[in-house]
Amino acid sequence: MITIEDYIETLTGLQETDVDCNFSIIRSDYSLVTSLAKQTVKGIGLTDRQYELTKLKLLDYKEQFESNGFHNIDDNFNNLRIPIRSIDRSRWIKIVEDSDRKYIGVRFTFNKKLISALETMSSIEVKSMYDSENKVHFYELTEINVYKIISVLADKNFVIESKLQEIFNILQDINNNKDEYIPGIYNFKLKNLHQRAIDYIVSDIGLPNKQNLSILKDRHRLYGLTHFDNSALEESLNNVTALSKKIVKRNTSTVFISNNTWSFDQVIESIIELDRFPIVILIDEQTPYDDLISSYRHIKNIVDSKDVSVQFRMPSNLSNGFNEFIKLNNLNNVVDKNTKVVYTSKDKINKPLIKSSCKPICVLSTSSSRANRRIEPWLESFDLVIQYDNTVSQFMRYGKTGIEEL
């Protein structure tokens, strides 16, 4: 009895026959039929879809089989050497648990279009893992992932767990009615915020208007604002410098500003435009004198010396004029609510500053090198950290907090 596996193996030359056979396989078919034949030679059965495809392909070569002495091949297509291999083609999206953690599980058999759709979704958080045996993709269980995944796969014949569907429905309602849910500024009005938050923002910046909308956008992470009317925001941004506009539109809290492109005066101008005082300036203890004088000469005509405080000293044998410069320029002031500029070491936690009534809202580092690990958590609490240098350090470029080059 000749089987369908015999035919595909004979066509590709993977099965010897009693007579010499001469088949000419179309180039576009070669990879497919060879793959099918190699599979059956290994004793792996055809799936139902592979079986139907094999029959179609063999019929394309029926005349060649006739000329090689194989007649009426389709009469033997029901003969199988290996039983049809069962494939679980179920598709589902549900919450799954692994090691006491919950994930979004997305199950489907290999499908390039589905994989491509998932991989190209904007804003999706990193996939956690893939179970190749059970064909399940695992994603972090977050609202953004629920919304993105179901939005893309809802019409792709997936069975969606009811709990996830409920979450998606709520998120979709929020997305379709942003002005009723999303915190932000709509037509120059603060909406969807607790009254205390509104009072705080108004006392800090004032009621939203064309002039301060860019400042509110600059601090949207600090205030928890998500929505801004684009046209109004762009109109407000037209009133600030190019560098300020880039800072406002940043996607990360930490930004890199190249000193090859932007002058220090331009950086200070942006800090003034965006009302970012009080500011902390980090000094590298390897080059304290140079860091201090290179920045202070741009600040001294803008901020009164009594409102500037240098919060550390170098040992006398390592001062090289640093300590003397502080005394000569009257920068040895106590930090208080009137302080506008605080110089501190990037290597030490400044406890007096943290305990003081001065509440800085911006950090400026004249180097892109890594700060001491002990102060990193403190720096991460700021919504704007500026690194001003000629190149981005490798640590900052690939660090966990991320950095955006302006």
Q: Are residues 269 and 352 in the same domain?
A: yes
Q: Are residues 267 and 372 in the same domain?
A: yes
Q: Are residues 278 and 394 in the same domain?
A: yes
Q: Which long-range contacts (CB under 8 A, 24 or more apart) does 325-331 make?
A: 325/289, 325/292, 325/293, 326/292, 329/296, 329/300, 329/305, 330/305, 330/306, 331/296, 331/305
Q: Are residues 267 and 389 in the same domain?
A: yes
Whole-number CA gyration radius for the chain = 33
Give the pLDDT band (50/70/90) at residue 123. Answer: low
Q: Are residues 262 and 361 in the same domain?
A: yes
Q: Are residues 116 and 255 in the same domain?
A: no
For the stretch 205-242, what's the b/e string if a residue is b when 16 or more beta carbons lie within 10 angstroms of its beta carbon? beebeeebbbbbbbbbeebebebbbeebbeebbeebee
CA distances from 186 to 193, 202, 227 (A): 12, 15, 7
In the prediction, which pLDDT does 207 show?
96
Where does a domain end: 237, 252, 276? 237
Looking at the domain assignment, is residue 85 inside a domain? no
Q: Are residues 193 and 166 in the same domain?
A: no
Looking at the domain assignment, is residue 67 inside a domain? yes
In the prediction, which pLDDT does 223 show?
94
- Cβ–Cβ < 8 Å for 126, 119: no
Candidates 195, 239, 376; CA nearest to 217 is 239
- Cβ–Cβ < 8 Å for 341, 317: no
- Cβ–Cβ < 8 Å for 278, 340: yes
Is the pLDDT at 244 greater than 90? The verdict is: yes
In the prediction, which pLDDT does 246 show?
95
Looking at the domain assignment, is residue 119 inside a domain? yes
In the prediction, which pLDDT does 88 show?
83
Span between the terminal Cα atoms of the chain, in Å: 73
Q: Are residues 227 and 157 in the same domain?
A: no
How many domains are there within the chain? 4
What's the CATH code of the domain at 279? Answer: 3.40.50.300
**Which of 181-190, 321-330, 346-355 is least confident?**
346-355
Looking at the domain assignment, is residue 356 inside a domain? yes
377 C-beta neighbours (distance < 10 Å), count: 9
| Amino acid in the structure at residue 56 | L
Q: Are residues 360 and 269 in the same domain?
A: yes
Is the pLDDT at 122 greater than 80? The verdict is: no
In the prediction, which pLDDT does 135 show?
86
Q: Are residues 313 and 337 in the same domain?
A: yes
Where does a domain end: 127, 159, 176? 176
In angstroms, the CA 212 to CA 223 distance is: 14
Residue 9, domain extent? 4-76
Give the pLDDT band (50/70/90) at residue 397. Answer: low
Where does a domain end: 46, 76, 106? 76
pLDDT digits (tens, 9 = 90+) for 264-280: 999 999 999 999 999 99
**Which of 32-41, 159-168, 219-228, 385-394 is least confident?**
385-394
Q: Average pLDDT, whole number, for the chain? A: 88
